[in-house]
Amino acid sequence: MAEIGVIGAGSWGTALALLLHENGHKVTLWSHRESEAEQIRATRRHESKLEGIRIPETMEVTSSLEEAVKGKEVCVVVVPSVCVRETAERMKPYIRPGMFLVSASKGIEESTLFTMSGILEEVLPEAVCSVLSGPSHAEEVAKGLPTTCVIGAHREEDARYLQKLFMSPCFRVYISPDLTGIELGGALKNVIALAAGIADGMGYGDNAKAALITRGMVEISRLGTRLGGHQETFSGLTGMGDLIVTCASMHSRNRRAGILLGKGRTMEEAMKEVNMVVEGVYSARAAVKLAETCGIELPIIEQVNQVLFEGKDPHQAVSELMLRDSKIENSLLPWESVS
């Protein structure tokens, strides 16, 4: 049994806390609001995040970071990407050398273009940082439905240790050394899911969805491999797997926000109506900045940015994507020579 702090009581943080508690670990769930922590303690429910799921009496719930972090063997960081740096700074007094940090947040920090583990490693260098990602809706994990994820770590022995903590009959965990690929796949798929939702909101069909998923994956892997990720990662669970589930499911807040944008809502209206953090909005601009530093094109992600931040009509964005210059799908494939 390990003592584990789960930092963030959103739907994903709460689901992971439930999973780890069910696995026999001593878990403390941290909320940034005392009113929320008190409500969970009093009712043993978190209806606004995970409807119908009971929180066990033996799981501690607190709004004190000291209680959630100090003395723990592992802390799982599951706050919105825009809050990771601030939260890490607040955690600093309670971190001991060698403590395991697992980033389960997905995003890219716009000001620095750091991934979430990059932020943790900068702010908390004495800790051992890793990541958890994959096609994993919180609602399904909380219900014990079969789910598969990946733990990314720099050292295999650390990955193996964390794999054992999370592994269960309904939660299968693979391991990987490719933190860069895992995190970029997890962040960028949210932007493509916004595009998929926009297409749904405009009434487009399965043909358009399939095109957005496959060409979106091309953009993700194009940028990700340029930044040091591996192609195998983008073809796997934290790449194509996560992209498929985020583009296809109504559990996906990014897809739901995209649907509202496709129906004519503004970015602000869509985010308010979804009433949850829409990470793709924050990653979209960062992705374009990363692409500019690499000198590569990301046509879908660029159009999503224009819809989000420049008020572009989604119909015009789709038209421009369809009317781009003719391309070869895969320039690495050889043609037969003319005899």
Q: 134: closest CA among 19, 21, 267, 22?
A: 19
Distance set, CA 30 to CA 1, 35, 115, 133 (Å)? 19, 12, 22, 20
Mean pLDDT of 263-285: 90
CATH number, domain 3-177, options 3.30.40.10, 3.40.50.300, 3.30.70.100, 3.40.50.720: 3.40.50.720
pLDDT at position 86 is 98
> pLDDT, tens digit, for every residue of 63-113?
999 999 999 999 999 999 999 999 999 999 999 999 999 999 999 999 999
pLDDT of residue 46: 93
C-alpha to C-alpha distance for 168 and 164, rounded to whole angstroms = 8
Rounded distance between C-alpha atoms, residue 30 and residue 12, angstroms: 12
**Rounded CA gap, 142 and 145, in Å?**
8
Alpha-helix residue ranges (DSSP H) falling in 44-153: 65-69, 84-91, 116-123, 138-142
Residue with token string 């100090």: 70
Residue with tokens 């309904």: 170
Q: Which fold, 180-322?
A: N-(1-d-carboxylethyl)-l-norvaline Dehydrogenase; domain 2 (1.10.1040)
CA distance 110 to 82: 9
Distance CA 32, CA 61 (A): 11
User: Residue 159 — φ and ψ, nearest 5°?
Assistant: -60, -40
Closest CA to 271 of 244, 301, 309: 309
Q: CB–CB of 25/50 below 8 Å? A: no
Best CA proximity match to 149, nearest among 168, 174, 167: 174
Residue written as token pair 């601030």: 86
Whether 339 has a pLDDT exceeding 80, the answer reads no
Going through 170-254 in order, the beta strands assigned E by DSSP cover 171-176
What residue ranges do the domains of the chain occupy?
Answer: 3-177, 180-322
Which residue is associated with the tokens 């403390």? Answer: 28
Q: Are 116 and 183 in contact (CB under 8 A)?
A: yes
Residue 67: strand, helix, or coil: helix
Provide the 10 A C-beta neighbour count for residue 210: 12
CB of 26 closer than 8 Å to CB of 20: no
Q: How many of the other CB atoms lie within 10 Å of CB of 82?
A: 15
pTM for this model (two decimals): 0.94
pLDDT class for 321, splitting at 50, 70, 90?
Answer: confident
**Torsional sign, CA 40, 43, 44, 45:** negative
User: What are the tens digits of pLDDT across the range 215-271?
Assistant: 999 999 999 999 999 999 999 999 999 999 999 998 899 999 999 999 999 989 998
Greatest pairwise CA separation for the chain in angstroms: 79
Q: What is the pLDDT of residue 323?
A: 74
Residue pLDDT, tens place only, 17-74: 999 999 999 999 999 999 999 999 999 999 989 999 999 999 999 999 999 999 999 9
Where is average pLDDT lowest: 158-162, 187-191, 232-236, 251-255?
251-255
> Residue 56 burial by CB count (10 A; 0-12/13-18/19+): exposed, middle or buried?
exposed
Average pLDDT, the chain: 95
The angle that helices 279-294 and 179-201 make with each other, rounded to 10 degrees, is 120
70 part of the active site: no
Q: Which of 164, 189, 209, 272 is catalytic?
A: 189
Task: Please state whether beta strands 50-54 and 60-62 pair in parallel, antiparallel, or not at all (unpaired).
Answer: unpaired
- The pLDDT of residue 331 is 80
